[in-house]
Amino acid sequence: MIVKARAGQGGPALARYLEGGKNENAELLALRNLDAPSLQAAIYDMDGLARGSACQNHALHVQLRAASGERLSPDQWREACDRYAEAFGMEDHQAAIILHHQQDGTTHAHLVFNRVHPETLKAASLSNNYYRHKALARQMERDWGL
């Protein structure tokens, strides 16, 4: 499994990207700690909360992809989001899970976390994220027989 992440500013461009392109179909799998009717509204809510903090790059965009030929169920994608949140101490943070279904039959996931905690307005640390991503990916592979 490949786990990559990049912190950015969120906004309408991120929402458009997550809604999928011409070669993929996007599915909003879940919203966490958000009461929004759509992905765009969820991103807008994340951006609004972050404005009250000192965090410059609040939108953590995580991409998860299984190896060629490997498939994950929707429950496994949700669990992957939970595991990521736990690894970075973001269990109470706002998050969205979006699946991109490719025309070739593969699926990958995008997770968007608001690094800003909804009560403390402090940003989650991303230090040593390369090593934490690698450890998390290897653990999920072992647990799910990938």
The residues, any chain, with a CB within 8 Å of residue 127's CB and separated by 6 or more, are: none
| Alpha carbons within 13 A on the beta-carbon side of 61 | 14
Cβ atoms of 107 and 99 within 8 Å: the answer is: yes
Per-residue pLDDT tens digits for 39-79: 999 999 999 999 999 999 999 999 999 988 889 999 999 99
User: What rounded mean pLDDT belongs to the chain?
Assistant: 93
List the structure tokens of 74: 């929707």
- pTM of the shown model: 0.92
Does the pLDDT of residue 128 top 90, yes or no?
no
| pLDDT value for 68 | 83
Is the pLDDT score of 21 beyond 90? no
pLDDT at site 112: 97
